[in-house]
Structure 1
């Protein structure tokens, strides 16, 4: 107990926060709001406080609060001063964690906030592809020779084989039939029971759905 209290009072307990960097993009309003998760993996309850070096540019929902032991909380951070002058500037959030009921800092964690120009890379690439497809000056490329296009789906050979087996099994005679086929009379193991045929019919339905989806 003494060693535990000593480590707490030394302020050496790590603070677990995700993400550790907030990326805002000037032309994407959906990125102007970010969610930060603060974890408390310890057995005791803690309190936290969120500080910022430039509080006029951000709005923090519930910048102070309590986290029970082995729980986490989400806080919302909004960039409310998006402007060309703020692009490529880096701000810093500092999260202080306290032992509940005291003002002694257990640990702290810095989270960077950066306003980037334009759009996120993935979104910019997708928009560029759409624009190139819509422009008449970019003709469609043809494949060399008779090679198939890359987007052609590959048939599911296993499902096709299973479907053929099920169909053949359904055509076999049933063991409860009185007039058994003379052709297969010498092969009693080919006479299936009604339950076996029901199983084959059920499997046939499943593989048929798999083939149609492909």
Structure 2
């Protein structure tokens, strides 16, 4: 028998698992896309909704805090209301194009002793340029030819 391994009839040691956050967090949009060539996209708004009948406290964290400024990164959301959180990308350099960072919004009840009861991750990507919308032009009638097996010129 191996040392530390459970024997016959024994169950492995079970460690208590921390309860996962139980409160859904409503944040819009679910992802942020910043475009280097479009300065208006360097500032974006996250909206945090509180549809619950109690006050929630929130905090915004980031995987790259030096690249972003978050206005009102922590605070309160009144019951049945929402709050706008402004994010600014501060480091628009070519070597960062294509990088994806994450924001995490954590919420907990104001005055509650349970700690964080909900969290949501939002991706934030920096792109060189906004992709062009595909033009959906109708096919040119002069270029269209019917399939030869459907129409025959023979009589």
Larger radius of gyration: 1
* C-alpha deviation, 1:117, in angstroms: 1.5
Q: Which of the numbers 85, 89, 93 marks the counterpart of 1:83?
A: 93
* C-alpha deviation, 1:102, in angstroms: 3.5
Return the alpha-carbon distance in structure 2 between the equivalents of residues 109 and 86 of structure 1. 24
Q: How many residues align?
A: 118
SS in 2 for 1:62: coil
Q: Which runs of 4+ in 1 moved over 6 A?
A: none
SS in 2 for 1:85: helix
Is 1:116 aligned to 2:141, yes or no? no
Return the alpha-carbon distance in structure 1 between the equivalents of residues 51 and 130 of structure 2. 35
Return the alpha-carbon distance in structure 1 between the equivalents of residues 126 and 77 of structure 2. 29
Return the alpha-carbon distance in structure 1 between the equivalents of residues 66 and 83 of structure 2. 24
Give the alignment of 1:55-70 within 5 angstroms.
Answer: 55-70=65-80
* Greater percentage in helix: 1
* C-alpha deviation, 1:11, in angstroms: 2.8
Note the residue ranges of structure 2 that are not aligned, 5 or more in a row.
1-18, 136-141, 143-155
* Greater percentage in strand: 2
SS in 1 for 2:129: coil
Give the alignment of 1:1-214 within 5 angstroms.
Answer: 11-102=21-112, 104-122=115-133
Native 8 Å contact 1:25 1:120 kept in 2: no
SS in 1 for 2:66: helix
Root-mean-square deviation (CA), in Å? Answer: 2.0
